[in-house]
Structure formats: C-alpha cells, structure tokens
C-alpha cells in the first residue's frame, strides 16, 4: 500500500511539473544599433534540455501568438513573424536611442489538466545609453523585471518577480546559463532575486505562478490558472 501511495504521488508530481516543462521564449541580442536590423526568434519547448518543439507540432493556438515591440517612447508595434522549422523569426530596425521591449502575452485556447495556461515572454534591446523600458503590457500578469539590462560576466543585478502588480515572494526562479547549467533561486519577500551571470552568452530565466481561482474560459470550466513567464538576455 505504501509503495502504491508513493508511486501515485510521484506520478502526480511528474504530471503537474510536465505542464511547466515547455514555455515560449524570445531570443535576440540585448544590444542594438540605430538603423541596423535586429533579428528576433521565438521558440517553444524545454530550454533546459534543448528540447525545441518543431513549429508544426506547436499545440493548441500557440502559433497565433502576438509579438509586440514597445519603443523607448512607449509606442507599440505588432511584429509579423514568419515560420521556420523550429522557430518563428522576424526583425525590427531601431530608430531611436533607449530600450526596446519585446513581449508576448498568450492564453492557450485548450485547457491542460483542468488548468488554464497563460504564457508570457520578454526580452529587451538597448540602443545607446537607454534606461529600462517600463511600458509592460497591461495584460501581463507575471513579469520578470530587470534592474539592469546589459550585464558583463561576473556583474550582478537584483531582478524582481511581479505577479498581479505586486512582488511575488518565496517563488522559484530558474536560470539557465549558456552551457545549459540550471540554477534555482527563491525570491525574497520583496520579490527580488540576484542575477549573477558568470559567463558570456544567452541566459534564460523562467518563473511560474498559480492562481487557484476557478472560472470559465471559451465555454470550458477550469479549476486554476498556471502562469509561465520567461525572460531572455545576453551577457557580454
């Protein structure tokens, strides 16, 4: 009987964690130049294991995501992306100094284990000596807010996790380094955590939040909402 209980708990934990195994993320360089095209790619999969889903296998309505570019002055543009075998791609050309924010806010049409899934993906591009872009989408319930955008190796910065416009305390943050090593941190009472990259290259940050308030979405009843956020940055 004890063995059956242990197996049930293990399978339950695995099934729940598998809901978070995949996420959307945006890849681009963290710095850009005025008048020079900036390449942007959008992936879906498991970043930790380099398990990138082929675009033809993206489930539900994921391919209908909206990629929004917010300029330093707050103006927004929806970027049209074209499909490739394992990602979507697009580009934009900065025309002003400051920080451009790339964002995706996407609600998955189909429920997963009686849960509504909401994905959020962010990446920033700094042109010149730009300050942090604070024009986050109003419908982004879960965000990772950097305190410094362009970091060098072994330079640290205090980032913050925000959920429903308030700091999210005691929540896990997963950081994946360029060599795919995983570091897990816990946010402090003010939602902050220390990001201290030790090498050059792309870093993937991910966090989750669960809202156990039931509701109805697209005619279907759900028991809770799972929020998944990613933030991608490159370290020089």
Residue 17 domain-assigned (yes or no)? no
Residue 11 domain-assigned (yes or no)? no
Residue 78 domain-assigned (yes or no)? yes
- State the pLDDT at residue 129: 82
Helix runs in 66-147, H state only:
none
> Among candidates 131, 119, 161, 130, which has minimal Cα distance to 143?
161
The percent of residues in the chain predicted with pLDDT above 90, rounded, is: 84
- State the pLDDT at residue 21: 64
* Residue 187 domain boundaries: 22-235
Cα–Cα–Cα angle for 61, 144, 129, rounded to 5 degrees: 115
- Taking the model in full, what pTM does it have? 0.90
Q: How many domains does the chain have?
A: 1
- State the pLDDT at residue 194: 97
- State the pLDDT at residue 162: 98
Residue 95 domain-assigned (yes or no)? yes
Residue 8 domain-assigned (yes or no)? no
- State the pLDDT at residue 130: 76
The CATH number of the domain where 153 resides is what? 2.60.40.1930
Instruction: State which residues of the chain have pLDDT below 50.
Output: 1-20
């Amino acid at each position: 009987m004890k063995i059956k209980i242990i197996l049930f708990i293990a399978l339950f934990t695995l099934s729940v964690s598998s809901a978070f195994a995949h996420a959307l993320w945006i890849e681009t360089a963290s710095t850009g130049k005025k008048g020079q095209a900036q390449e942007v790619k959008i992936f879906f999969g498991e970043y930790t294991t380099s398990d990138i889903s082929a675009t033809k296998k993206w489930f539900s309505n994921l391919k209908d995501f909206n990629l929004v570019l917010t300029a330093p002055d707050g103006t927004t543009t929806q970027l049209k992306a074209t499909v490739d075998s394992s990602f979507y791609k697009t580009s934009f050309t900065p025309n002003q100094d400051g920080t451009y924010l790339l964002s995706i806010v996407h609600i998955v049409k189909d429920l997963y284990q009686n849960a509504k899934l909401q994905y959020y993906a962010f990446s920033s591009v700094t042109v010149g000596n730009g300050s942090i872009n604070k024009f986050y989408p109003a419908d982004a319930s879960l965000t990772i807010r950097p305190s410094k955008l362009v970091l060098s190796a072994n330079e640290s910065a205090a980032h913050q996790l925000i959920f429903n416009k308030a700091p999210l305390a005691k929540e896990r943050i997963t950081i994946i380094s360029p060599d795919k090593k995983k570091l897990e941190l816990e946010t402090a009472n003010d939602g902050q955590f220390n990001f201290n990259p030790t090498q050059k290259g792309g870093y993937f940050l991910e966090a989750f939040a669960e809202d156990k308030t039931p509701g109805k979405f697209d005619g279907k009843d759900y028991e809770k909402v799972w929020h998944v956020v990613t933030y991608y940055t490159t370290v020089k």
